[in-house]
Every structure is written in structure tokens, then in C-alpha cells.
């Protein structure tokens, strides 16, 4: 298949492209290399991805531009005729969305609609949408299941991701596009965005600088290793690629939450260094915990995360220390 990946030069997208090359697919990457974090990081990701494409003998095309640009998106679909779309691109981050909510609406809602309109126009029937565990908000029930109410988001980012799921269902209903919405739970691993906790903590501890430590350390996240996420996306692509009309929502998580206190200790152990904590109050928009119920994903998709947090962080630390160009 010819698969279009938005945000394909990012952390998840670059790993996914490499996995799909091995499965025999050609890839079209759409990315605008914005400055939410250093564009050099994403360009390094793309360079590595291009090398892996060449090694696999697969075609890789980079289309540099913004998913908010309707004409740009329409032209790519018309010229390249993708068979499937995996939509990862987004304005990311809970806290920044509170400061700039209109940007998040433009990218995450209008950008998603531009892609669905283009898919409708040329008859693309396979579409995966990257949603987020943030849609669950401070749900008191754990673990979070796909059938739980998600009507009380606590950040604009979460609200736009829920909106994306609803828009996807509308296009599925009206135009018979097979869609899976994938709620990712705190993805980490080699190439992780430098603004995210594990990447930031490793970098600052290595440099002997204080790490921001919000709250009392009891908040927890369901950290999910990049290899497990990519395997889940691949399973979801197989699920939508049938003759049946399909739409559904799936959790992709590790289903094993880790408290902030424990996370820091694991990183300290892997680095052989003690962290200096900059104790700060909880921030607006932060949830107390995330915890994925993956029974549905396991039974329907065959999704099965296999990487424990200790192994995943060891892999990240090894990648970070071996990198010729340390993260900014």
C-alpha cells in the first residue's frame, strides 16, 4: 500500500514509517517541521527514516507543509493517491493548549477535517486518527475504558482530540471511510520529543540540572513504549483494511501506571546519578493519573504491550547516550 503519515518526521511517525517499510509499504510523509520543539530533531528523524527506506528498497516521499493548508493537502492526495492515511500530526501538549487554544483548534480540528475532506474526494477508505488518553480527563474510574464517558475534558488539547474522534465518526457514517481512533497513553522511547518528561528528565539529570517535579510525586502515568505503540497502530491498520464498514475507538497503553516518584528512581538507576528536584505545584490541565484498560484492544486488534518500564527507559538512555547529536 501507499500510506500517507501526517507528522511522519516526529517521534511516533518516524518509528511507524520504519515499521511499515519492513512490511512492504511505500510511505508519504507530511510534516511542517514546526518549532514547537527543535526542527533539527525532526529533520534528524527523517534522515534516519530515509536511510531505512533505502535499505528496505521502499519509496519514501516527503511533502513539507501544513495540514491547515487545504490546497496543499488536496494537491498531495490528488497527485499521490494514497491507499491509507495515518493521521499523527497535531498541536501537542496539554499545558501549551491552555495558553494558545485557538491554535489547537485550527490544527487539531480544522487540520483533521482537511484530511478527511481530501480522503473523501479521492475515495480513500482507510484512516487512522491519533487521539489521546487526555480525553478521559480526571475520570475517577480506573482503568480507563473506551466506553467510559469523556464529556469533561480539562484542557483545550483534550477537547480537540475528542472533537477529532467525533468528526471521524461523521465521515465514517456519511462516506463509508473505515476509521480507527487510537487513544495513545504517554508514549516514550528513542527519539521521544525533548519536551516530554522522560526525555527531559534524562537530559537534565545527565547535565546535573534540577528537574521540574510537580506535586508530591504520587501522580501516575501509563507509560507506553514506542515499539508497543507502533505494533498497535499496525494492528489497527489491518483491522480497518477489510471489506466491512468499520469505525471504533481503541486504547493503546501499557496498562501499568508508574508514579512520578518511581519514574525518577528508575531513571536515576539507569543513569547512575541522583536527580535534583525542583518541587513545584500541580499545573492546570494535568490529570492525576492515566491507566488504560486494553481488554478491547487486545480482543479486537490482538494488541499486546510487552515492554516493561525498566527495559524501555534503559533503551531510551542507551539511545540518548549513543546519539551523536544530543537532544537540545
Q: Which residues are catalytic?
A: 157
Q: Identify the three-state secondary structure at position 322.
A: helix
The H or E element that residue 100 is part of is none
- Which value, to the nearest 10 degrees, does the dihedral of the CA atoms of residues 192, 198, 204, 210 take? 150
Q: Quick count: other Cβ atoms within 10 Å of Cβ 152?
A: 13
Cα–Cα distance, 157 to 100 (Å, whole number) = 10
Decide: 134 and 183 in contact? Cβ < 8 Å. no
Its sign, for the CA torsion 227, 230, 231, 232, is positive
Task: Name the nearest CA neighbour of 300 among 237, 239, 228, 233.
Answer: 239
Cα–Cα distance, 291 to 297 (Å, whole number) = 14
Q: Interior CA angle at 184 toward 178 and 187, to 5°?
A: 140
Q: Identify the three-state secondary structure at position 180.
A: strand
**β-pair partners for 150:** none
Which residues, 6+ apart, have CB-to-CB distance to 31 below 8 Å? 6, 7, 8, 9, 10, 13, 42, 46, 62, 64, 89
Cα–Cα distance, 255 to 325 (Å, whole number) = 33
Output b/e per residue, 34-50; b: 16+ Cβ within 10 A: eebbeeebbebbbebbb
Judge if the upstream peptide bond of residue 143 is cis by omega within 30 degrees of 0: yes
Amino acid at each position: 500500500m501507499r500510506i500517507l503519515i501526517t507528522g511522519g518526521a516526529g517521534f511516533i511517525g518516524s518509528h511507524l514509517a520504519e515499521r511499515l517499510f519492513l512490511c512492504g509499504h511505500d510511505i508519504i510523509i507530511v510534516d511542517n517541521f514546526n518549532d514547537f520543539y527543535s526542527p533539527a530533531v525532526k529533520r534528524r528523524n527523517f534522515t534516519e527514516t530515509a536511510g531505512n527506506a533505502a535499505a528496505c528498497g521502499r519509496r519514501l516521499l516527503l511533502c513539507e507543509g501544513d495540514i491547515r493548508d487545504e490546497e496543499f493537502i488536496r494537491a498531495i492526495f490528488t497527485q499521490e493517491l494514497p491507499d491509507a492515511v495515518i493521521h499523527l500530526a497535531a498541536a501537542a501538549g496539554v499545558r501549551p493548549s491552555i495558553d494558545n487554544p485557538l491554535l489547537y483548534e485550527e490544527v487539531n480540528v480544522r487540520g483533521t477535517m482537511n484530511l478527511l475532506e481530501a480522503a473523501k474526494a479521492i475515495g480513500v477508505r482507510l484512516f487512522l486518527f491519533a487521539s489521546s488518553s487526555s480525553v478521559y480527563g480526571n475520570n475517577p474510574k480506573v482503568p480507563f475504558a473506551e466506553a467510559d464517558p469523556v464529556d469533561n475534558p480539562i484542557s483545550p488539547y483534550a477537547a480537540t482530540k475528542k472533537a477529532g474522534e467525533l468528526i471521524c465518526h461523521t465521515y465514517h457514517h456519511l462516506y463509508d471511510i473505515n476509521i480507527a481512533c487510537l487513544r495513545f497513553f504517554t508514549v516514550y522511547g528513542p527519539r521521544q520529543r525533548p519536551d516530554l518528561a522522560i526525555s527531559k528528565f534524562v537530559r537534565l539529570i545527565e547535565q546535573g540540572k534540577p528537574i521540574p517535579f510537580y506535586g508530591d510525586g504520587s501522580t501516575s502515568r501509563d507509560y507506553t513504549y514506542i515499539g508497543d505503540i507502533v505494533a498497535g497502530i499496525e494492528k489497527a491498520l489491518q483491522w480497518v483494511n477489510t471489506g466491512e464498514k468499520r469505525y471504533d475507538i481503541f486504547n493503546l497503553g501499557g496498562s501499568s501506571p508508574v508514579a512520578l516518584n518511581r519514574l525518577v528512581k528508575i531513571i536515576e538507576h539507569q543513569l547512575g546519578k541522583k536527580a535534583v528536584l525542583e518541587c513545584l505545584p500541580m499545573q492546570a490541565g494535568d490529570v492525576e493519573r492515566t491507566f488504560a484498560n486494553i481488554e478491547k484492544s487486545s480482543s479486537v486488534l490482538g494488541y499486546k504491550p510487552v515492554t516493561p518500564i525498566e527495559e524501555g527507559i534503559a533503551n531510551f538512555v542507551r539511545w540518548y547516550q549513543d546519539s551523536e547529536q544530543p537532544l537540545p
